[in-house]
Chains A and B, each alone.
Chain A
Amino acid sequence: MQIRIKCSCSEESCQEWAIVELQGAVEIQPSFQNSLHNLKIGQLCRPSSPENYTFTVGYHELTGSKVPLKKPFLVLKKKKTTNVEQQSSESDSPGAELEVVGIIRHRILFKTRPKALISKPQPVVKKKATATCSSAAIK
């Protein structure tokens, strides 16, 4: 069987998605385990002078940069098609189809271990900033 990769983006106008990548995992405090939708993870900041980015998660601050990807990522969405829909389109994609929904060309990469912030960072903490960065693996 064959599945055609559909793409409705016109040339040069594929919607760009973003990646924020950091080492290790962000752990959610147990009390928010079930209500993480809309929960704030941290504050992404671009300080004025250098080409650096900081990402403040709870009491931790990460420093990183915006990196162009050597090869872009396509964001594909797998879709199950019903038979009814299928008849109008091509007959050679039974059951499933893939659609390009976006492209990623850059990521904001934080590859260093987090730095602990001594003083409390703003009211972010109060506002459910429960996420703490942990288990940063040493490479």
Chain B
Amino acid sequence: MEQPHPSCRGAEAVLNLQSGSSISVAYHPLFGPHDDLILLELDEKLLPHILQQRVTLRGQPDEDAVLCTPSKTYGIKFVGNSNSVFLIPPSDHSILCDHNGKGHIQQASASVIKVAPGSMELVEVAPRLDKLRLLLSENPYRSGEVLQFEDVDGMEKCIAGLYTWDDLVDKVQASDEELRTGLIAFSAVEIDGYWRIVDEEYMGKLLMALFPSSVLNDWSLNALNENEVVRVLVQDGYPQKLAHHCLSVYGSKVGEGLNGSCLWSLDERRVCVHFAREILRGGKRKMESLMEEWRHKIPEGMQASFDMLEGEVLTEKLGVDLWVRAFSVSALPLTPAERFSILFKERSKWEWKDLQPYIRDLKVPGLSLEGLLLKYTRRIQPTLDAEPIFSAR
């Protein structure tokens, strides 16, 4: 009572302290550890996302939480501070008074609510899409599944290994946008509300059903009418969703046809790679035998060439013969450490031209491909004009 105080107290008083004046700093009536108050260091550009409540923390109890904006994923790390960081809330801060209304005890000064031991920092990280792939591969869509579902009519479907979008958001540490991109990259499709990848053999059957129809109906593989294709495939007994999926996996939209239906062009590389993979699923092959069978399998009008198989096969010389076997980059882990570990288990030494297709898709925020090579490989170049060789670190 003896000291009259201006109305301005709390953080405002500290921040707006006029020159030539002073304010006393005291412990708040509710001073304490307040572990529930956390400081989060945040880039200014992320602030709008926060204000519009588009930021979430994601992770299972056994994972380190990540922070996701609509398009990016950030790791969270605690950074300690050995200084004394006195945290001063604004004077009318209601959050602190909601315990029992005691917070408004006369504040004669700026009040320190807690001493912050440090703060949280954000580091952009790659989305954890390996987990997405793992979840999707638990129960891929296969032929014959439709029948199974009909057997359990009325009953709650057995949904083991099936995930809806919300389930995936719940389980995968990635932003919505990265999750969507990941689903496309893994060729997943939403069937009956669940995101699924489709068994490769099943996709092959769909493709094989498409080709005879295209010949029969005189369709051009560069301008397939979506409605017609889907209609024919559905007649053959394939679900509409998957007929459509077949077009998006092996082709791309090129425009609109006469009756408003989309036109699709089949991608030569993707179709050819499909057939090579199919052949090599039976084990390794001699180069000549592979090429011969491959050329035989692919549809009329398409040209198979061996460089289409970059990142799909490895070759090795045994005696005089060159052997080819499947080794697909799409099956390798997406985290660099695990990727390199598997690559060097596969081969202890890699030439750059062989290695490149197996690492070019790796994306680590803040680290270039050169950076990755430095971190995970040892580079040997016997002479200046020799091809560099990479081995494990």
A20 lies within 8 A of B14 (CB): yes
A-B CB contacts (within 8 Å), total count: 185
Does B25 interact with chain A (Cβ within 8 Å)? yes
> Which of B18, B31, B166 is in CB contact (< 8 Å) with A37?
B31
Q: Which of B49-57, B193-201, B310-318 contacts A (4 or more CB under 8 A)?
A: B49-57
Q: Which of B87-95, B250-258, B345-353, B380-388 contacts A (4 or more CB under 8 A)?
A: B87-95
B86 lies within 8 A of A4 (CB): no
Asked whether A40 and B42 contact (CB < 8 A) given A18-B88, A20-B14, A26-B84, the answer is no
Within 8 A of B (CB), among A59-89: 66, 71-79
CB nearest neighbor in A for B32: A37
For A18, list chain B residues within 8 Å (CB): 10-11, 14-15, 87-88, 110
**What is the total number of residues of chain B having a CB less than 8 Å from a CB of chain A?**
65
A36 lies within 8 A of B17 (CB): no
> Which of B48, B90, B116, B119 is in CB contact (< 8 Å) with A16?
B90
> Which of B27, B86, B89 is in CB contact (< 8 Å) with A20?
B86
Does B85 interact with chain A (Cβ within 8 Å)? yes
For B18, list chain A residues within 8 Å (CB): 46
A73 lies within 8 A of B26 (CB): no
Does B331 interact with chain A (Cβ within 8 Å)? no
Query: In whole Å, how far is B115's beta carbon from the nearest beta carbon of chain A?
Result: 8
CB nearest neighbor in B for A129: B24
For B212, list chain A residues within 8 Å (CB): none
Does A101 interact with chain B (Cβ within 8 Å)? yes
For B12, list chain A residues within 8 Å (CB): 16
In the bound complex, how far is the Cα of B84 from the Cα of A37, in angstroms?
Answer: 17
Q: Which of B33-41, B220-228, B232-240, B370-378 contacts A (4 or more CB under 8 A)?
A: B33-41
Query: In whole Å, how far is A61's beta carbon from the nearest beta carbon of chain B?
Result: 12
Query: In whole Å, how far is B291's beta carbon from the nearest beta carbon of chain A?
Result: 50
B59 lies within 8 A of A44 (CB): no
For A21, list chain B residues within 8 Å (CB): 81, 83-86
Asked whether A4 and B55 contact (CB < 8 A) given A78-B38, A101-B95, the answer is yes
Does A49 interact with chain B (Cβ within 8 Å)? yes
B87 lies within 8 A of A47 (CB): no
B83 lies within 8 A of A22 (CB): yes
In the bound complex, how far is the Cα of B23 from the Cα of A97, in angstroms?
Answer: 35
Mark interface residues in A1-14 (1 if CB within 8 Å of B CB, else 0): 11111110111001
Does B109 interact with chain A (Cβ within 8 Å)? yes
Does B82 interact with chain A (Cβ within 8 Å)? yes
B29 lies within 8 A of A38 (CB): yes
A44 lies within 8 A of B23 (CB): yes
Asked whether A47 and B19 contact (CB < 8 A) given A2-B57, A23-B83, the answer is yes
CB nearest neighbor in A for B88: A18
A19 lies within 8 A of B86 (CB): yes
In the bound complex, how far is the Cα of B166 from the Cα of A36, in angstroms?
Answer: 48
Asked whether A43 and B24 contact (CB < 8 A) given A2-B169, A21-B86, A49-B19, the answer is yes
CB nearest neighbor in A for B96: A101
> Which of B51, B59, B68, B86 is in CB contact (< 8 Å) with A11?
B51
For B19, list chain A residues within 8 Å (CB): 46-49
In the bound complex, how far is the Cα of B31 from the Cα of A37, in angstroms?
Answer: 6
Within 8 A of B (CB), among A74-128: 74-79, 92, 98, 100-102, 104, 106-108, 124
CB nearest neighbor in A for B40: A74
For B25, list chain A residues within 8 Å (CB): 20, 40-44, 55
In the bound complex, how far is the Cα of B50 from the Cα of A75, in angstroms?
Answer: 12
Query: In whole Å, how far is B334's beta carbon from the nearest beta carbon of chain A?
Result: 21
For A4, list chain B residues within 8 Å (CB): 53, 55-56
B37 lies within 8 A of A137 (CB): no
B170 lies within 8 A of A1 (CB): yes
For A108, list chain B residues within 8 Å (CB): 14
A44 lies within 8 A of B90 (CB): no
In the bound complex, how far is the Cα of B169 from the Cα of A71, in angstroms?
Answer: 29
Query: In whole Å, how far is B311's beta carbon from the nearest beta carbon of chain A?
Result: 34
CB nearest neighbor in B for A42: B25
Does B60 interact with chain A (Cβ within 8 Å)? yes
For A55, list chain B residues within 8 Å (CB): 25
In the bound complex, how far is the Cα of B68 from the Cα of A98, in angstroms?
Answer: 14
In the bound complex, how far is the Cα of B18 from the Cα of A100, in angstroms?
Answer: 28
Asked whether A3 and B56 contact (CB < 8 A) given A22-B84, A53-B17, the answer is yes
**Which A residues are within 8 Å of any B CB, using their own CB?**
1-7, 9-11, 14-26, 36-49, 53, 55, 66, 71-79, 92, 98, 100-102, 104, 106-108, 124, 137
What 4 A-B pairs are tightest by C-beta distance, nearest first?
Answer: A45-B22, A18-B11, A18-B14, A78-B36
Q: What are 7 contact pairs spanning A and B, CB under 8 A?
A: A7-B51, A15-B11, A17-B11, A18-B88, A37-B28, A53-B17, A73-B39
Other than the given A2-B68, A49-B19, 6 more pairs (CB < 8 A) read A21-B86, A36-B31, A44-B110, A46-B21, A72-B41, A104-B39
